[in-house]
Amino acid sequence: MGRKKSSKLSVGLDVGSSSAKVVALIREGGGKRLRLWRYGVKVLPERASESPGDGLSKTIKELLSELKLDQKDVNFSLPGTSAVVRHIQMPRMTLQEAKEALKYEAGQYIPFKAEEAQMDCHMLDNASDEKSETMKLMLVAARKSEAKKRVGILERAELTPVVLDVDSIAILNAFETTGILSDQEGPIGLINIGARQTNLNVIQDGQAAFTRDIEVGGGGITVAIARGLGVSLADADGLKVAGDAIIQPHLEIVLKSIVHQLRSSFDYYHGSSGQDIKKVYISGGTSLLQGIREFLTESLRIETAPWDPFQGIVTSDFEDDAALSALSPLLPVAVGLAARRTDSS
């Protein structure tokens, strides 16, 4: 499958707590159209994400080799456990002035010292109203040590990071490519339930309005099943995937914890904006569990729907690939990273 030299290949690499995911996209038509080139998922060695070393880098190299991807430049991300996203309000100033001010004021917004942080901020569109005395910013901060650790993983895999992003921002970017936003009225929620954590984003008027990472995910369900039934984690995971009725009480214990934190987040958003979330879209491996959409709809009292991160991407080369639709809920972070524009694209 050859491509014209003018086309731009971009690779997104998402390393979670249980698997590595890769999506390679080609930007065509003057950059206006994205085409899927390669994708893949590979299970990580046990506890690899907790003690990242040569084993994790080796797994990444193997995955890229299996996909016949020799691209060395990749877009990578940090999970919510290593980075924070905050929506803050500041007196009106230029973006550069805000970045300088945050070097001294970031301590009130982030859970670690500003000198330990690698930070960036983005002025939201509604901050362009020059008549207002204040402006809204999205602040993204990561511990320098965590960023360095992630870059080290790539370097050992003989890769070069072009973009180092945050999971929740990558998910927003992937959702934007679908075109779903053009049909939405009122604020909507994105809930990505991964193995270790749940990412929540609220989008209003096409802009990120609220972001939170909840430190509970599908792995917590596996642990609850294992403890409740007295089985191994591997057997518990098998029961979870199979949707066996015996796991329902243990599954609901963890889901209720996630729902409680989602509900409190939605209440907080309503209190600060005066608006209710109209609809939520779910993704992540845990979103594949039997009955979870119905459970979330009933518990949150909000319509819940799945979404396909490849909806706005040309996938004609994969028309007969059943695995793509099966795995797509796991790939929004990798898609968002691969779809990320750089200055040279």
For the stretch 226-255, pLDDT in tens is: 998 888 888 888 888 777 778 888 888 899
How high does pLDDT run on average in the chain? 86
* Residue 315 in this model has a pLDDT that exceeds 70: yes
How high is the pLDDT of residue 4? 41
CATH of 183-307, one of 3.30.420.40, 2.60.40.1170, 2.60.15.10, 1.10.10.410: 3.30.420.40
Arithmetic mean of pLDDT, 165-184: 90
Mean per-residue pLDDT, 95-116: 81
CA gap 151, 147 in Å, rounded = 6
Q: Which residues contact 153 (CB under 8 A, 6 or more apart)?
A: 15, 52, 56, 57, 60
Is residue 51 very low, low, confident or very high in pLDDT (cuts 50, 70, 90)? low
* Residue 54: predicted pLDDT: 67
pLDDT at 129: 56
Q: Which of 57, 312, 276 is nearest to 185 (CA)?
A: 276
123-166 confidence digits (pLDDT tens): 775 544 566 788 888 888 888 888 888 889 899 999 999 988 88
- Number of Cβ within 10 Å of residue 124's Cβ equals 16
Residue ranges of the domains in the chain?
183-307
Tokens of 59: 């797994």
Q: 1 pLDDT band (50/70/90 cuts)? A: very low
Q: Is the pLDDT of residue 296 over 90?
A: yes
User: Among positive and negative, which fits the CA dihedral 43, 334, 218, 292?
Assistant: negative
- pLDDT at residue number 2: 41
More confident residue, 205 or 266: 266
DSSP designation for 329: G
pTM, two decimals, is 0.88
3-state secondary structure 46-91: CCCCCCCCHHHHHHHHHHHHHCCCCCCEEEEEECCCCEEEEEEEEE
Residue 303 main-chain phi, psi, to 5 deg: -60, 130
Q: According to the model, what pLDDT value does residue 67 have?
A: 95
Which tens digit of pLDDT belongs to each residue from 137-147? 888 888 888 88
